[in-house]
Amino acid sequence: MVNARYIFVTGGVTSSLGKGIISSSLALLLKARGFKVTNQKLDPYINVDPGTLNPYEHGECFVTEDGAETDLDLGHYERFTNVRTSQKNNVTTGRIYSSVIEKERKGEYLGSTVQVIPHITDEIKDRIKILGNTGNYDFVITEIGGVVGDIESLPFVEAVRQLKREYGKNAIVIHLTYVPYLAAAGELKTKPTQNSVKNMLSIGVQPDIIVCRCEKELTKSVRDKISLFCNVESNSVIESIDVPTIYKVPLNMVNEGLDTQVLKLMDMPSTTPADLTKWKQFLYRLDNPVNEVTIGIVGKYVELHDAYKSISESFIHAGAATQTKVNVKWIHSESLEDKSKEQIQEILGQLDGILVAPGFGSRGIAGKITACQYARENNVPFLGICLGMQCAVIEFARNVLNLKGANSVEMQSTTPYPVIDIMEQQKQISNMGHTMRLGNYPCKLKPQSKTALAYGKELIEERHRHRYEFNNKYLADFEANGMLATGINPDTNLVEVVEIPLHPFYVGTQFHPEYASTVESPSPIFVAFVKASAKTNP
């Protein structure tokens, strides 16, 4: 019995073609037709999860409500569909092998020789089916990371082959490829796509739909050629041309008939067109701003913008909500270290707002603290997230409370003074074996605080990913000198939000509001921050 229909999205030719965006766009279109849809990512790397990966390696580590550290594509899924994901939505090779080895040690295979087929592939299939078997979804869209032909992806593609055989028309494969345009020849080339599909066929998988990433429009002759040599219907050759924003991809997919073809191939004809009214309204506001601001993101991984993907996307959501064009200026925190006031002014002086980004480790901390001080002393709207809040608290302690040794254990190398643990390693909460707070936690907001006004309510829940907490031993001193704890975890009394009420907008959040921001539900604190930044514009 099949409780849901399965759509697999694979990639060929090269990585970074946008499998996650195609998967998210299709999910949005099917949801807009009234179906219940969820997305899933299978990652071929051997790490159990991306929580320990350097952001330079794999971009942002996205955190779900249930505390799973996952691939950044899950952020795309949520931003497009407004459907929350969980631990079940991201599976890695490391997790698959870990589970199989654990079962073998317990004797669950009854002495059988444990092999890739059937044991690893069966485990993959079980993980794919978990969401479908809940009965909560009509479609499960599963994206397979990497490129077909990579040795790491082979067990996943083999599992897809078996599931297609088992489920017939209830399982289809969408293959994303690249159709390059050679300027010297003046034409699009289909050979990379043909070779990519041959790779799929050699593993026993025939793609049902081919999505062609391209810089130029596909001509009819090119579509017909791909259809002929790759053994798919002409209507199953879908153009995915470059667009200025990923949020226009769903409209292109509607025009190409991707959702219609999917339903046709799966014998699920639908006369209900996708209702994209709200999506089009979002794009209209995005394309027609009435304000413009420049906001600096101060971080230590800024060379790779994907390291802060949810933050940059949250600015797009908040910008559309307020009809404000948000120009992001990426500032490496180390570039602010050992600089004169004049040099700091030159770097930060043209900004309408400053966001100090999350991160781990002591590198670049001094620059983040400098950014916090500049925003506080110059009345520049400020938002500090996680480590950004931590830096704001330490800066205030050093320069307002005159606690020159204010620090945390992780940052001890940044000051010559005896360490005063303004932020302390939390030990009372552990999640998934880490001394970290991960996932959703409640926060009680102080009435009439900027954060409470932004959210429009006093009890909220937001996602966390951090090791350090505000040391309540110093709370009275902070509040007596103008930095208030305006958000408190009602269960543990831990500080979640700090504000300076006399500042136009100076907010630090222990949680990560960017994780929950979507097109349909922009992060309230980002919206408030963009509004405050726009007020500084002449």
Per-position b or e across 191-227, b if 16+ CB within 10 A of its CB = ebbbebbebbeeeebebbbbbbbbebebeeebbebbb
DSSP state at residue 521: S
Tokens standing for 520?
Answer: 């349909």
Work out the number of other CB atoms within 10 angstroms of the CB of residue 168.
11
CA-nearest of 278, 207, 203, 266 to 236 is 207
The residue annotated as part of the active site, out of 386, 395, 443, 496, is 386
Q: Is residue 157 within 8 Å of 205, Cβ to Cβ?
A: yes
Phi, then psi, of 192 in degrees rounded to 5: -60, -40
End-to-end CA distance of the chain: 63
Task: Taking each helix axis as running N to C, give the angle between helix 93-105 and helix 121-132, from 0 to 180 degrees, rounded to the nearest 10.
Answer: 110
SS3 408: coil
Report the run of H or E that residue 264 belongs to, with start and end: helix 258-265
The one-letter code for the residue type at 210 is: I
Rg (CA), the chain: 25
C-alpha–C-alpha distance, residues 139 and 170, integer Å = 9
Query: What single-letter DSSP state applies at residue 70?
Result: E
Residue 240 near residue 251, CB atoms below 8 Å: no
Is residue 212 annotated as part of the catalytic site, yes or no? no
Q: Can you read off the two tokens belonging to residue 257?
A: 């008939």
Q: Rounded to an integer, what distance in angstroms lies between the CA atom of residue 350 and that of residue 532?
A: 15
CA angle 226–228–234, rounded 5-degree value:
70
C-alpha dist (Å) from residue 318 to 244, 372, 447: 18, 22, 23
One-letter amino acid for residue 411 of the chain: M
Amino acid at 349: G
Looking at the DSSP bridge assignments, the partners of residue 437 are: 466
- Give 40: exposed, middle or buried? Use CB within 10 Å, 0-12, 13-18, 19+: buried
Q: Write the burial class of residue 111 (CB in 10 Å: 0-12 exposed, 13-18 middle, 19+ buried).
A: exposed
Q: Supply the residues annotated as catalytic.
A: 386, 512, 514
